[in-house]
Amino acid sequence: MAAASSSDRALVPHYRMTRVHSQQRPIPTWLAIIKLLRWDKPEGRLILMIPALWAVFLATQGKPSWVLVTVIIVGSLATSAAGCVVNDLWDRNIDPQVKRTQSRPLANRTITVRVGVGVAGVAFACAFGLSRFLNPLSFGLCVAAVPVIILYPLAKRVFPVPQIVLAIAWGFSVLISWSAAVGSLPPATGWLWLATVLWTLGFDTIYAMPDRPDDQRLGIHSSALFFGRYAETAIGLFLGGTVVCLGILGYILNLYIGYWLSLGLSSYWWYRQITRLRRTNLVPSAYAQMFRQNVWIGMVLLLGMITGTVLR
């Protein structure tokens, strides 16, 4: 990577124009940074936020402090933004060789490494500042999550199922939010944590499936490659396990009918996805569509958790 020029020294110089691709119109650097943070693709930000909201609403029986909810929402946005930038910094020489990722700003050199590191630093600083509003247990969990976030891209290079590392990172959102709400982690938290881990393994394996030829060529690991022709079965087990964990959670917390209706609808939706995955003629966009559907599934479950606690 060539050293940044003097015009790159400012983090967001609004006047500077850059190119996403040589055949595309130039875009301002601030817009390229938005793309770097993935704020132009909100589904990825929401799918991290949702388990955190599950936890805070369940922990408080549907009546959380709205100040805490705001901290969790903004904190999840800052954390996911930092994770995206760290991932792209690790993968800046790999992403240009993968069709799905070759237009990312660090991959096509729209943004320099120096700017990327600066943006990641700002995102982590924002997350750190927000974490100071939390209790000591929650703050400690925030600190513990940082190495997992930073090392996930490395896991893709050395670990056969890197989605496990990603799922653990996602699971921290449950632990942080629940402990922030009540100051402890009761047994029910473990079931929500496990449900989140299994759900993440399921939807991110779906997300990784169209990249299998490129990942295999480049020597990048993924759960989709690891499970091979059994990937659809593995996804079914992950999502089925999610349903079981959420069912046990609902029983422990004595949740009302709204929750069970949402879990039934989500189970059916997941069943439809697994059935669709078994087809042999899926286009790459179908996997992205199923990934986005999981955002809606998560929102349906969140609504069920709220009604299942408030309307008891």
If you write DSSP's letter for every residue of 140-160 in order, what string do you get?
A: HHHHHHHHHHHHHHHHHHH-S
User: pLDDT value at position 24?
Assistant: 52
Give the residue-averaged pLDDT of 32-51: 88
| Confidence tier at 183 by pLDDT (50, 70, 90) | very high
Mean pLDDT of the chain: 89
Spatial distance between the Cα atoms of 101 and 17, rounded to a whole number of angstroms = 21
Are 79 and 120 in contact, with CB atoms under 8 Å apart? Answer: no
* 213-248 pLDDT tens trace: 999 999 999 999 999 999 999 999 999 999 999 999
Instruction: Enumerate the β-bridge partners of residue 27.
Output: 18
Half-sphere exposure (CA, 13 Å, Cβ side) for 221? 17
* Phi, psi angles (nearest 5°) of residue 19: -115, 135
Give the residue-averaged pLDDT of 146-160: 92
Burial call 256-271: b when 16+ CB within 10 Å, e when fewer: bebbbebbeebbebbe
User: pLDDT value at position 23?
Assistant: 46
Query: What are the residue ranges of helices labelled H in 3-135?
Result: 29-36, 42-59, 66-90, 113-131
In terms of Cα–Cα distance, which of 220, 202, 225 is closest to 94?
220
User: pLDDT value at position 281?
Assistant: 81
User: pLDDT value at position 312?
Assistant: 64
* 260-303 pLDDT tens trace: 999 999 999 999 999 999 887 889 889 999 999 999 999 999 99
> Is pLDDT at 17 greater than 50 in this prediction?
no
User: pLDDT value at position 25?
Assistant: 60
Spatial distance between the Cα atoms of 243 and 227, rounded to a whole number of angstroms = 21
> Is pLDDT at 11 greater than 50 in this prediction?
no
Tokens describing residue 305: 């958790």
| Confidence tier at 19 by pLDDT (50, 70, 90) | very low
Which segment of 17-21, 91-95, 283-287 scores lowest on mean pLDDT? 17-21
Are 90 and 101 in contact, with CB atoms under 8 Å apart? Answer: no
User: pLDDT value at position 102?
Assistant: 85
User: pLDDT value at position 8?
Assistant: 37
Please tell me whether residue 38 adopts helix, strand or coil conformation: coil
Tokens describing residue 133: 């509003």
Spatial distance between the Cα atoms of 39 and 206, rounded to a whole number of angstroms = 21
Spatial distance between the Cα atoms of 149 and 147, rounded to a whole number of angstroms = 5
Give the residue-averaged pLDDT of 22-38: 75
Spatial distance between the Cα atoms of 125 and 115, rounded to a whole number of angstroms = 15
Are 53 and 299 in contact, with CB atoms under 8 Å apart? Answer: no
The DSSP symbol for 264 reads H
C-alpha radius of gyration, the chain, whole number: 20
Spatial distance between the Cα atoms of 106 and 18, rounded to a whole number of angstroms = 12
Q: Is 10 or 69 the better-scoring residue by pLDDT?
A: 69
pTM: 0.88
Spatial distance between the Cα atoms of 131 and 142, rounded to a whole number of angstroms = 7
If you write DSSP's letter for every residue of 118-143 in order, what string do you get?
A: HHHHHHHHHHHHHHTTS-HHHHHHHH
User: pLDDT value at position 244?
Assistant: 98
